[in-house]
Amino acid sequence: MYQTNYHRAASIQEAVQMMGAATEGKYLSGGMTLIPTMRLRLAAPSDLVDLRRIAELKGIAVDGRSVRIGAATTHEEVATSSALRAICPSICGLAGHIGDPAVRHMGTIGGSIANNDPAADYPAAMLALDAVIVTDRREIKAAAFFTGLFETALEEGEIITAVRFDAPAKAAYQKFPNPASRYAMAGVFVARRDNGDVRVGVTGAGSSGVFRHPGLEAALSANWSPDAVANVTVDASDLLTDLHASAAYRANLVRVMTKRAVAAA
Amino acid sequence: MAKITMTVNGRQVSGVCEDRTLLVHFIRENLGLTGTHVGCDTSQCGACVVHMDGQSVKSCSILAAQAAGSSVITIEGLAQNGELHPVQAAFKAHHGLQCGFCTPGMVMTAVDMIQRHGSALDEATVRAELEGNICRCTGYHNIVKAILAAAHEMGGARQAAE
Amino acid sequence: MGVDGIGARVARKEDRRFLTGKGRYTDDMSVPGMKYAVFVRSPHAHATIAGIDATAARAMPGVIDVLDGRQLLADGIGNLICGWMIHSKDGSPMKMGAWRPLADKTVRYVGDAVAIVVADSVAEARDAAEAVVVDYDPLPAVTDPVQALADGQPQLHPEASNNLVFDWELGDGAAVDRALAAAAHVTELKIFNNRLSPNPMEPRATLGIYDAGDEHYTCYTTSQNPHLARLVMSAFYNVAPENKLRVIAPDVGGGFGSKIYIYPEEIVCLWASKRTGVPVKWTSDRTEAFLTDAHGRDHVSTVKMAFDAGNRITALKVDTIANLGAYMSLFSSCVPTYLYATLLSGQYDIPAIHANVRTVYTNTVPVDAYRGAGRPEATYLLERTMETAARELGLSPAELRRTNFIRSFPHQTPVIMNYDAGDYEASLNAAMAAADWNGFAARKAEAEGRGMKRGIGMSCYIEACGLAPSAAVGSLGAGVGLWESAEVKVNMVGTIEVMTGSHSHGQGHETTFAQLVADRLGLPIDSINIVHGDTDKVQMGMGTYGSRSGAVGMSAVAKALDKVEAKAKKIAAHLMEADESDIVIEDGVLKVAGTDKSVPWFQMALAAYTAHNLPPGLEPGLKESAFYDPANFTFPAGCYICEVEVDPETGRTKVVQFVAADDFGNIINPMIVEGQVHGGIAQGIGQALLEGVRYDDSGQLLTASYLDYAMPRADDLPSFVVSTSNTPCPNNPLGVKGCGEAGAIGSPPALINAITDAIGNNQLTMPATAEKVWAAAQAAN
């Protein structure tokens, strides 16, 4: 790891000030991606501003079917929230399968979304749930938030404070893990609204990051059943080929994971 | 360089280190507690697992500075008065270790797992929860057996106390 | 048998320190003034070095010095060597290219060490290592062994044209060709044995300490064989005279072969300690481990197996190309030859076998022994071929194997080995019963109802271990003898220390070796200490590999115990005025048989040292040593049966049952033996399903971390069903055969046989990733 300067913020305001004073700073939430990346000397922020102890970034609020999850809420807290489980168990299930228990104790929803790793789980859910990403400056629709591999709409120094969404009528997440890293090789979050509107968020498979799949959405809007997926073509040309899987295989996995998510929802 | 203070195994400790120092290196080098190990660079292997404020964490992916003010338990803090913790005793009874290198992380993970699941643990859950701990010697067979036995015993002990 | 004796499930003596964080591994060592090393490594798979400029690096904070290969050469440090001479079939010796501990002119794989930086902290050393400017002229690289043999490819070493290290054969080629021509059926197969990274969880580390006062060197290192390390570093690498070099391998966190070899880092840290005047510690990170620890396997083979009309094998012809990587590692030459081709008879009576093996240099990290070493490659080839033949011949896999089993012993194979004992049908029957083979059809039908494809596969393996009779291996080219040594010291109050040349890095010797002593003398196991891993404490040793510690290491202890007992009896007989031939040792007491006269063990021991009343002419003290050289290899064997379910939609394979029935000879501690089998099977399943080292065409390592190299996790594996049915080994005093490698040897073919059975397509290579299985299943439809 290269030299860096650590700062611990007690409030959002203090965090913004600390970041403003840094030459090339980075916010540090759970650090479960950032610290290993820095260990490998693949990132070299001059300063780290630790958000983990800011009280206003924490907590899960459920009001009817509307949900607000503070950005510094850990995966473990999301996975085990009984209030959340009562109306949106799919997000608990997703959180409970991110990384391993020790990672879930540190990693946060805000950190995951801000990093936008192309194989991270939360971004697929944010798209499918039509979530709003709340920052210290504004609110951003998920569809506009995730802009590319590790790229988001966040501006310099902007902090995610929470995510908001309405619990759908039905939803589920299924992923096929990479056998080595256990990140999603293809992960699909399906969500259906009472009005029949369906969104399908896909992670791990896209060559330019998380995406929605219109063909699957159309098929499932017309017929919400696992069988509806069978005849949908998933175009492999937009998908990733790497050491672990070809685009053609990922296309198959996207279809199969969608089918299984619908069955599980 | 910064001075960092935290509670480790019930004792308040301080040390001076660079901001880039990982918690595992602070524990090993500043405190001389070498039971916590480093087995990979990418936070997969779990040889470095300790408890921070009551939860299992990977000390190779946390800066010492992040842990300042926290309470940390390492493998050295588990046995009390020379008596092995039930999880440690179960690992011994069931031959849940061979070379011993992954063992501290395995044991700390197992203690945390049992804290969260109690005696309701089953084999599939134990195997799933061990995703972040790699052992190359045992094929996990006896580790799983040991954790299940310890969960059973600790659950039974808890029931008896109630 | 006492409670702690041979055959008892004794909980391990060593566990307490590991469980409480008190294990002492090399990276845990700290000595006054110690500094930290980081190596500058080649980012190129093949390049010449035009120059190295460390000026900027030397000026960085905390840096003590930066040293490179020219300085190492100037100080007379020698080349790394391969210690086993193999001759090609034309009689020419293997072509050993120069391997410098720090490359001075040419780098030949990504990770080849170029310079060492010594600094106050690891972080500062790493900062400075990035500032060392190495001027490389990149050369074209080759990583595929088949391609490397072709004309016009990049050449790694001037000695080895077309990168051929040797072209070796074993067996009667003409007899095999005649049998193939006359065969009723010939099964042909192309076999790939995937390249693996051993991955002990403790990364390699070393601490070199030079004491200028005594001109003495101490090397703490992660070694399976510290005496061998000392021998090689003094005799060949010119680091220090043997009597001025102490090698200590303290607690070692697994080895699996990868810690047999002496690597550049041990040599360079010792040398750097002298050059800089400070103790120098280096600890590998995981990426460095992937880049620089010796890999295993990496064979490409074609096989032809001939059968007569009665389905009896008449001949086997094998042609293998083995990738040795960029340099010849310490035992690299014997792995694809005498540890491989000599096992090609398997459990079968095969009249004629011929194997041709070509070994090849490529721009990859050196390849050497990894758990099983040659025997997994032989077993995989043979058992995939047997399964394929059974399918082609329309026979059940068990029936074809039974038809061809060797049934009388000793049995001389056509490939050197002389099997001493075994009962292959017993293992097969035990495995089939444990696996409920007959119930498989019903389980398959049930799985089909759930949309899953279920398959079953078996593997009947044999291995040769207990390495090894020294004269025999000497005649085959080994540069060392493969005996083991032990010393049994009875202390003045009767407690016992056993100094053994075997090294325990997970095998539990501190318990099993003590069980032997407890069994022989009837002493409590806590009064017995096993000392190993330090050349200053243990007289001599050849270390731990090749499942040799029980058969060879413990046999040496048994031999030393014979001498201790003989002398103890003399002393006791004298004390009791009895005849020494009437003395028996039971429960820690020396008794005169048939009388009530006895002397407790501790009293005899005290008498040996007070020496007030010893038999005339008898030396005081009670400490005996022995060297044991085995009379033959040992031949563990067994049958493994694997059952899988394949998800046809994703190709994901779940191992739903794994049964192992082994013949290990006599068992010292069943609990530890089972643990060895579990671990071996997990590594075998890892090879078959998950693991595979991948380089790209330019020689960059693609699988350089656990993000890309798939290690078996708990949820990849089932609980295993293991049992043994044992025929004692007639060739060592304990009747033991060895159990450390069997699991890794026997399991991969069982798994691939099961998957190919499930999907109905025999074309599948390891690792059988979900995508490969999915594609193969699609192709079968």
What proportion of chain C, given as a percentage, has pLDDT over 70?
100
Secondary-structure class of domain A5-50 per CATH: alpha beta
Q: Please tell me the distance in Å from B79's CA to the nearest CA on chain C.
A: 7
The pLDDT confidence band at residue C761, using thresholds 50, 70 and 90, is: very high
C10 to chain B: closest CA residue: B93
SS3 of C418, please?
Answer: strand
pLDDT in tens, C620-632: 999 999 999 999 9
Residues B147, B129: contact at Cβ < 8 Å?
no
Between A and C, how many residue pairs show a Cβ–Cβ distance under 8 A? 45
Strands B71-73, B49-52: pairing is antiparallel
Q: B4, B23, B63: which to substitute to probe chain A, counting the most A Cβ within 10 Å?
A: B63
What residue ranges do the domains of chain A occupy?
Answer: 5-50, 58-166, 170-264
Distance (Å, whole) CA C286 – CA B39:
7
Domains and CATH numbers, chain C: 31-139+201-254+259-292 (3.90.1170.50), 375-463+635-780 (3.30.365.10), 483-628 (3.30.365.10)
* Helix segments in A107-212, DSSP class H: 109-115, 122-128, 142-145
CA distances A49 to A19, A54, B22, B71, Å, are: 7, 11, 16, 21
Determine how many CB atoms are found less than 10 A away from the CB of residue C135.
11
Is the minimum CB–CB distance between C287 and chain B shorter than 8 Å?
Answer: yes
CA distance C296 to C288: 16
Q: Does domain A58-166 have CATH number 3.40.50.1820?
A: no
User: H/E element holding C134?
Assistant: strand C133-138
Strands A198-203 and A184-192: antiparallel
Contact B138 C28 (CB under 8 A): no
Q: How far is A179 from chain B (nearest CA, A)?
A: 11
Q: How many CB pairs under 8 A join A and B?
A: 84
Residues B66, A6: C-beta atoms closer than 8 Å: yes
Q: What is the C-alpha separation between C655 and C658, in angstroms, rounded?
A: 7
* The pLDDT of residue A70 is above 80: yes
Strand-strand pairing, A139-141 and C411-412? unpaired
What's the CA gap between C262 and C221, in Å, rounded? 10
pTM score: 0.97
Residues C49-81 have pLDDT tens digits of: 999 999 999 999 999 999 999 999 999 999 999
Q: What residues form DSSP beta bridges with C483?
A: none
State phi, psi for C777 to the nearest 5 degrees.
-70, -40
- List of chain A residues whose C-beta atoms are within 8 Å of the C-beta of residue C711: 180
Fold of the domain built from segment(s) B2-77: Ubiquitin-like (UB roll) (3.10.20)
A106, A115, A121: which to substitute to probe chain B, counting the most B Cβ within 10 Å? A106
The CA–CA distances, whole Å, from B18 to A10, A179, B21, C589, C772 equal 22, 35, 5, 61, 47
C1 pLDDT tier (thresholds 50, 70, 90) = very low
Tens digits of residue pLDDT in A4-24: 999 999 999 999 999 999 999
Choose among B36, B99, B144: nearest Cβ to C714: B144
User: Considering only CA atoms, which of B124, B111, B10, B126 is closest in space to residue B57?
Assistant: B111
B95 chain-C contacts, CB cut-off 8 A: 11-12, 671-672, 674-675
- Give span(s): CATH 3.10.20.30, chain B: 2-77
**Residue C239 backbone dihedrals phi, psi, to 5 degrees:** -75, -45
pLDDT digit string, tens, across residues C132-190: 999 999 999 999 999 999 999 999 999 999 999 999 999 999 999 999 999 999 999 99
Distances in whole angstroms, Cα of residue C70 to Cα of each of A25, A138, C37, C275 = 42, 61, 18, 13
Interface residue of C9, C15, C224, C673 to substitute, partner B, most B CBs within 10 Å: C15
Is the predicted pLDDT of residue B1 greater than 60, yes or no? yes
pLDDT at C496 over 50: yes
pLDDT band with cut points at 50, 70 and 90 for residue C700: very high
Cβ of B139 within 8 Å of Cβ of C680? The answer is yes
Q: How close are the terminal C-alpha atoms of chain B, in Å? A: 49
Neighbours of C726 (CB within 10 A): 19
Are C702 and A246 a contacting pair at CB < 8 A? no
Q: Which of residues 108-127 of A touch C (CB under 8 A)?
A: none
Fold of the domain built from segment(s) A170-264: Enolase-like; domain 1 (3.30.390)
CATH 1.10.150.120 occupies which residues in chain B? 86-157
Residue of C nearest to A250 (CA): C771
- For residue A119, give how far its alpha carbon lies from the nearest alpha carbon of chain C (Å): 12
Tokens of B30: 């500043």
Note whether A35 contacts B62, CB cutoff 8 Å.
yes
Query: What would the two tokens of residue B6 be?
Result: 């935290």
Tell me if chain A has a CB within 8 Å of the CB of B61: yes
Spatial distance between the Cα atoms of B151 and C722, rounded to a whole number of angstroms: 24
Residues A180, C652: C-beta atoms closer than 8 Å: no
Phi and psi, residue A230, nearest 5° = -55, -40
For A:167-206, CB contacts with C below 8 A are 176, 178-181, 183
pLDDT tens by residue, C80-128 = 999 999 999 999 999 999 999 999 999 999 999 999 999 999 999 999 9
Confidence band (pLDDT; 50, 70, 90) for B156?
A: low
CATH homologous superfamily of B86-157 = [2Fe-2S]-binding domain (1.10.150.120)
Inform me whether the pLDDT recorded for A116 exceeds 60.
yes
Q: Which of A175, A185, A241, A252 to mutate to test the interface with C (most CBs of C within 10 A)?
A: A252
Residue with token string 């043994």 = C724
C-beta atoms of C15 and B91 within 8 A: yes
Instruction: Identify which of A5, A8, A99 has the shortest CB distance to residue B132.
Output: A99
Respond yes or no on whether ipTM tops 0.90. Answer: yes
CB atoms within 10 A of CB C279: 24
* Contact between B44 and A105 using a beta-carbon 8 Å cutoff: no
Q: Which residue in chain A is spatially nearest to C773 when comparing CA positions?
A: A249
Contacts of C74 (CB under 8 A, 6+ apart): none
DSSP C542: -
Interface check for A36 against chain B (CB to CB < 8 A): the answer is yes
Q: Answer whether A219's CB lies under 8 Å from A255's CB.
A: no
Distance CA C781, CA C769 (A): 19
The pLDDT-based confidence of B158 (bands split at 50, 70, 90) is low
Handedness of CA C535, C540, C543, C547 (dihedral sign): negative
Specify whether the CB–CB gap between C132 and C48 falls below 8 A: no
Instruction: Give kind and range of the element (H or E) at residue B2.
Output: strand B2-8
Does pLDDT of C617 surpass 50?
Answer: yes
C503, amino acid identity:
H
